[in-house]
Chains A and B, each alone.
Chain A
């Protein structure tokens, strides 16, 4: 049966473009859905630049506020992903600059003798939690150059192509950074997890 007025959807159709248009028109439901779909990787971008979770929620709120306020400036809705990535990254960079001293203090606390690894655990759940914490700390410890593509790959599940597109890097460079990120993590975690 055919539906009157139905528009055939082409395979290359980007489902987000109508959503962007709807947000431009002030559609709050569309905005809510957009946040629901992309909130996770935006958080990943912010985290990968900040290197910690201290202000993650605050910065992400700023990002979404910026999306709402600035969506009219996005001339080509097909380029929404790099645009959103830029917003997220810039917000994180600004937050990082203003919070440098606080971040150093947070690291000092995280590395304090109070956070001892290798202490006998009380059970498998505690061991698993310690392991996760160790792994997460190792990811935080990656240089931002390698942390960004690594987080996008592992949190957002992006392909090399998508990472290359938003970060403005050649595919080979994305791959090389992932190789090096994994090398550093192996070096930090081998024998401990």
Chain B
């Protein structure tokens, strides 16, 4: 009987973890039909599993600090900021925060033609961020603007745009893209270089648009 109980426990675990074979599934179903005790064991296990997953995700899964703090902490070594006076890190971090805030209140981007077809970034998706069907129109990308157009008109500076290639060396060189959006707007787009590496199959054949400003 104990062997049978052990066997049912094992099958229950496999079912909860989604690794049951068809034969094992049939075996477990038969056992559950025959025995109220095994049914209860399965129901309790299933419920506890769900509660555990929720409790762990809530209590352990996330840090209140966030990754920005982690990054700031991580660059400090025991010798202090990489062993040299990296005094520029703090103002750079502050500038990054300002950039993020500007992004949050950045102008709307929408899909469409005419060069201003930019889709708001969705960080939950992986895929090519800059994929254009043709020249300067139909930019059906998922990127985010990092600077307002005003800064650009006033000579905010735009680096030469590059293409979204799954190559780290290229991404390192040009991660800021300028997309001309109509007559009076220029969007500066920061491409998430990590997502660019994970090119989604759907966008794999897209042609990137190169704009030089």
Which residues of A pack against B, CB within 8 Å? 1-3, 5-9, 15, 18-19, 21-22, 25, 27-33, 35-36, 39-40, 43-44, 47, 53, 56-57, 60-61, 64-65, 67-69, 131-133, 135-136, 139, 150-151, 153-155, 159-160, 175, 178-179, 182-183, 185-186, 189-190, 193
Contacts of B56 in A (CB 8 A): 44, 47, 136, 139, 151, 154-155
Instruction: Fill in one digit per residue for B58-98: 1 if any A CB lies within 8 Å of its CB, else 0.
Output: 11111111011011011111000000000000000000000
Residues B57 and A155 in contact, CB atoms below 8 Å apart: yes
B164 and chain A: residue at smallest CB distance = A3
Q: Which B residues lie at the A interface, using CB under 8 A?
A: 9-10, 12-14, 16-17, 19, 41, 44-45, 47-49, 51-65, 67-68, 70-71, 73-77, 126, 133, 163, 165-168, 172, 175, 192-194, 197-199, 204-208
CB nearest to B167 among chain A residues: A7
Task: Indicate if the CB atoms of B17 and A69 lie closer than 8 Å.
Answer: no
Which label, helix, strand, loop or mixed, suits the secondary structure of the B interface?
Answer: helix
Contact A154 B52 (CB under 8 A): yes
Residues of B within 8 A of A27 (CB): 168, 172, 193
Interface contacts beyond A8-B204, A9-B166, A151-B56: sample of 10 additional A-B pairs, CB < 8 Å, sorted by A? A1-B207, A19-B197, A28-B75, A39-B62, A40-B61, A132-B54, A135-B48, A135-B52, A136-B55, A182-B49
Q: Are A69 and B77 in contact (CB under 8 A)?
A: yes
CA distance in complex: A29, B48 (Å) = 38
Interface pair B65/A15, CB less than 8 Å apart: no
What is the distance, in angstroms, from A89's C-beta to the closest C-beta of chain B? Answer: 15
Could you list some 20 contacts between A and B, CB below 8 A?
Answer: A1-B133, A22-B172, A28-B71, A29-B194, A31-B71, A31-B74, A39-B63, A44-B61, A53-B60, A56-B60, A65-B73, A131-B51, A135-B55, A150-B52, A178-B13, A182-B16, A185-B48, A186-B41, A186-B44, A189-B51
Closest residue to A62 on the B side, CB-wise?
B73
Q: Provide the bound-state CA to CA distance between A67 and B60, in Å.
A: 20
Q: How many inter-chain residue pairs (CB < 8 Å) link A and B?
A: 166
Q: Taking A29-B194, A32-B68 as contacts, is the C-beta distance between A132 and B61 under 8 angstroms? A: no
